[in-house]
Amino acid sequence: MMASATGSGGSGKPRNRVPDGVLRSVGFLSFFDRFGTPPMLVVLAERTDLSLGQAVQLVAAYALLYAVGQPVWGLLSDRFGRLAILRTALAGVLVGSVASTLSGSYLPLLLARAFTGLMAGALYPTLMTILGDTRTGIDRARGLSDLQIYSSLGTTIAALATGTLAALVDWRLVFALPAVGCLVLLVLLRGVEIDGHSGRGGVRLAHAFSPSALGIYGLAVLEGAVLMGILTYIVPALQNAGVGVSLAGMLAAGFGVGVILGARIMRRLVQRFTRTQLIAIGGSVLVTAFLVSSLSHAPAAVTTTAVLVGVSNAVLHSSMQGWATDIAPQARATSVALFAGSLFLGSSLQNFLTAGLADDRQYGTIFLMALVASIFLTVIAALGHASWKRVHST
């Protein structure tokens, strides 16, 4: 990982901020863990007594508990501070990852992945909250964009490596790697006392449940379904089209490439377009992504979808994240956590609802459903943000 940190120094005084490298590495690790399982779903089903549908449910359970824990993590972060939650979550992911490597049957593995998802749920929202606390305007947009680059690297490496590692070595190795990463990060955080914002003090939670906030949480459910839930099926769809597991992982890594390219483009777009326009642009890219795979199920079409979903993630999702950090500044950690939780709730619901279609290899139907949902998301999100902006600019 990309973290580098010095000790507390010869004076023995604790550092008073989390090193940027550690924050970026947390983003990398959280997304590697989140997207490490989908590329090895077919191998996992072959090497254990799980069906493909049950393997998909491991991803869904992870996402569901990630979502369910968000309100609690937000409240705890606003009460006890960002760094305390960050350390707790890393320790929890370490324990859950170790338990995952020791589980070989459906129920124990399901419980282990669900617990890991619960603990991992605090990682990325905490990073977003820190950015929301310390940056504003274009600077915040750029910070979110940069964070997406490192997070997308985690997604890309997961797509490239985990399927191959599971096939050539052991699927347990995929769960063991995040445990090692968490241990390293906990050591690097040992000399840190605060993270620049304690998160304590008066928190007006009612703001996190305003009509505007509830509206963006609803949009996040839909966004999670089409931006994150659909990624579960990229590698299986490629394998269904006759692509080997290693090559399928390489092609699915086009998502990460798309995020990196999109993030670079986003740094320029934020200077030329309003957030409402960026939501519309990113949504249009997402619609195009699923239109391609709805018309053709060939490997080239599915790969194109992966790349375009990545680009949309960098433009649409970072714009939605920026909106979420502004929606309730008086209870920012809670509102950001609820936004992230809604996102993963949508991802989980999508996986649970389409697991049967995956068992029947009906990936074309899954992509068509995503196309319809992405059209709805783009229209409602762009109009909703424009209306919210008018109200809050007066």
Provide the residue-wise pLDDT of the chain in tens; the chain has 394 residues: 444 444 444 444 455 566 777 878 999 999 899 889 888 888 898 898 888 888 888 988 998 888 788 778 877 887 788 888 889 999 999 999 999 999 888 999 999 999 999 999 888 888 777 666 666 667 666 766 777 778 878 878 887 788 889 888 999 999 999 999 999 999 998 877 654 444 444 456 677 888 988 999 999 999 999 988 888 888 889 988 888 877 887 888 888 888 888 888 887 888 899 999 999 999 999 999 999 999 998 999 999 999 999 999 889 988 998 898 888 877 777 888 788 878 878 988 888 888 888 888 888 899 999 999 999 999 999 999 999 988 877 5
Please indicate, yes or no, if residue 2 is contained in any of the structural domains: no
Q: How far is residue 175 from each of residues 11, 180, 220, 243, measured CA to CA in Å?
A: 38, 9, 27, 24
With 0-12 / 13-18 / 19 or more C-beta atoms within 10 angstroms meaning exposed / middle / buried, residue 63 is buried
- 372's enclosing H/E stretch is helix 363-392
Please indicate, yes or no, if residue 114 is contained in any of the structural domains: yes
Please indicate, yes or no, if residue 222 is contained in any of the structural domains: yes
Nearest to 210 by CA among 394, 393, 390, 388: 388
**Number of domains, the chain:** 1
The one-letter amino acid code at 161 reads A
Please indicate, yes or no, if residue 202 is contained in any of the structural domains: yes
Please indicate, yes or no, if residue 189 is contained in any of the structural domains: yes
As beta bridge partners, residue 192 has 15
Instruction: Note the pLDDT of residue 134.
Output: 63
Please indicate, yes or no, if residue 168 is contained in any of the structural domains: yes
pTM: 0.71
Please indicate, yes or no, if residue 312 is contained in any of the structural domains: yes
Instruction: Note the pLDDT of residue 8.
Output: 44
Instruction: Note the pLDDT of residue 394.
Output: 58
Residue 260 DSSP SS3 = helix
Please indicate, yes or no, if residue 14 is contained in any of the structural domains: no
Q: What is the CATH number of the domain that holds 286?
A: 1.20.1250.20
CA distance 141 to 138: 5
CA distance 195 to 257: 31
Instruction: Note the pLDDT of residue 263.
Output: 81
Classify each residue of 240-256 as buried b or exposed e, where b means 16 or more C-beta atoms within 10 Å of its C-beta. bbebebbebbbbbbbbb
Domain that holds residue 134: 20-392
